């Protein structure tokens, strides 16, 4: 979860080895610094425009970020989520909204959620009639989903696990593709698993969105240093999907449900008196459990159909 209220302060680990990597989308080594003021080591490919981190830690170091502390972390501006478990009701409401959208394109069938975390999305999908399975590099998330909801979840990355080819009606990747070391291989692997006529749907921060361009180096999408190694636009993600055999059917910017208290904290940064008044009102009216759907218009969801 990002935090609008603090000055952007990337923290890059200085104890890991970093290596230059070619553009994951087109293979070019021709690049130039991108937004160097933010200190994240971003470059932009001069050939296709893809923005990525280079040099950077290897895949093992990148995956090492996603242990149990990732889902319980009091420094969410650094890595992971303040308290993912506590946010369960809002994650579930957000999941319902996304499923309602997707079911316009594909009826409940076999679903694979890549980066399923603790399984809240999968559990909501199952309630709607989906045969839902997931995987995650976090063993904590995978175990939580099994123990609390009896879900079928696998520990590992999409490219390391065995799944039946052409057997899924839908593959979802929520806030995943910007984290993985080799997104092109991920999308191609998803294309193998989705049946002909099936769908993939991904959500990721949109570096070309108006909020991102207006905020410049202060864009909240830049906050999670080390975790995000790729920064997509509609153009670069569409190119990656097309080359894997997908045809884009829908592009939209999406939000999520956040607790009223989080909204109040962020408001307090700009209007402390208003936040204080809201807090008093919340307590008086018993609204502490309320949530708001907030769409910052800088997270893009792209849904594509397998040719």
Q: Which residues bind Zn ion (CB under 5 A)?
A: 23, 25-26, 28, 45, 47-48, 50
Report, in Å, the least distance between residue 179 CB and Zn ion.
Answer: 19
Question: HEC states along 191-210?
Answer: HHHEEEEEEEEEEEEECCCH
Q: Which is nearer to Zn ion, 11 or 20 (CB)?
A: 20
DSSP H helices in the chain: 59-63, 88-102, 120-127, 139-149, 183-193, 210-215, 234-243, 260-270, 272-285
Q: Which is nearer to Zn ion, 48 or 249 (CB)?
A: 48
Report, in Å, the least distance between residue 261 CB and Zn ion.
Answer: 42
Report, in Å, the least distance between residue 22 CB and Zn ion.
Answer: 8
Kindly report the backbone phi and psi dihedral angles of residue 133, in degrees, each rounded to the nearest multiple of 5, phi listed first.
-125, 155
Crossing angle for the helix pair 139-149 and 120-127, to the nearest 10 degrees: 40
Please tell me the distance from the alpha carbon of residue 85 to that of residue 106, in angstroms, as a whole number: 29
Q: Which is nearer to Zn ion, 26 or 200 (CB)?
A: 26
Report, in Å, the least distance between residue 48 CB and Zn ion.
Answer: 3
Q: Which is nearer to Zn ion, 25 or 220 (CB)?
A: 25
Please tell me the distance from the alpha carbon of residue 11 to that of residue 77, in angstroms, as a whole number: 9
Contact 227/11 with Cβ under 8 angstroms? no
Report, in Å, the least distance between residue 45 CB and Zn ion.
Answer: 3
Q: Which is nearer to Zn ion, 13 or 20 (CB)?
A: 20
Q: Which is nearer to Zn ion, 4 or 48 (CB)?
A: 48
Please tell me the distance from the alpha carbon of residue 178 to that of residue 215, in angstroms, as a whole number: 19
Taking Cα atoms as reference points, which of 122, 214, 205 lies closest to residue 171?
122
Bridge pairing between strands 168-174 and 152-155: unpaired
Report, in Å, the least distance between residue 188 CB and Zn ion.
Answer: 16
């Amino acid at each position: 979860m990002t935090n609008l209220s603090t000055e952007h302060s990337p923290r890059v680990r200085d104890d890991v080895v970093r290596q230059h990597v070619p553009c994951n989308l087109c293979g070019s080594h021709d690049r130039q610094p991108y937004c160097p003021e933010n200190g994240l080591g971003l470059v932009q490919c001069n050939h296709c425009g893809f923005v990525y981190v280079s040099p950077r830690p290897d895949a093992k170091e990148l995956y090492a970020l996603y242990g149990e502390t990732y889902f319980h972390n009091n420094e969410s501006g650094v890595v992971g989520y303040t308290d993912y478990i506590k946010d369960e009701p809002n994650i579930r409401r957000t999941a319902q909204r996304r499923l309602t959208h997707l079911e316009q394109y594909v009826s409940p069938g076999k679903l694979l959620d890549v980066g399923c975390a603790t399984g809240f999305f999968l559990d909501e999908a199952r309630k709607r009639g989906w045969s839902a399975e997931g995987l995650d590099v976090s063993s904590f998330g995978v175990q939580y989903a099994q123990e609390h909801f009896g879900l079928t979840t696998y520990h590992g990355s999409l490219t390391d696990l065995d799944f039946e080819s052409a057997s899924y009606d839908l593959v979802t990747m929520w806030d995943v593709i910007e984290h993985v070391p080799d997104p092109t291989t991920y999308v191609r692997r998803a294309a193998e698993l989705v049946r002909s006529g099936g769908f993939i749907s991904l959500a990721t921060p949109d570096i070309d969105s108006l909020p991102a361009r207006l905020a410049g180096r202060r864009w909240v999408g830049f906050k999670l240093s080390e975790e995000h190694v790729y920064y997509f636009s509609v153009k670069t993600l569409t190119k990656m999907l097309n080359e894997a055999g997908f045809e884009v059917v829908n592009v939209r910017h999406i939000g999520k449900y956040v607790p009223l208290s989080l909204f109040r904290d962020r408001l307090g940064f700009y209007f402390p008196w208003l936040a204080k008044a809201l807090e008093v009102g919340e307590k008086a009216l018993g609204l502490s459990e309320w949530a708001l759907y907030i769409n910052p218009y800088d997270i893009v969801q792209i849904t594509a159909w397998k040719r």
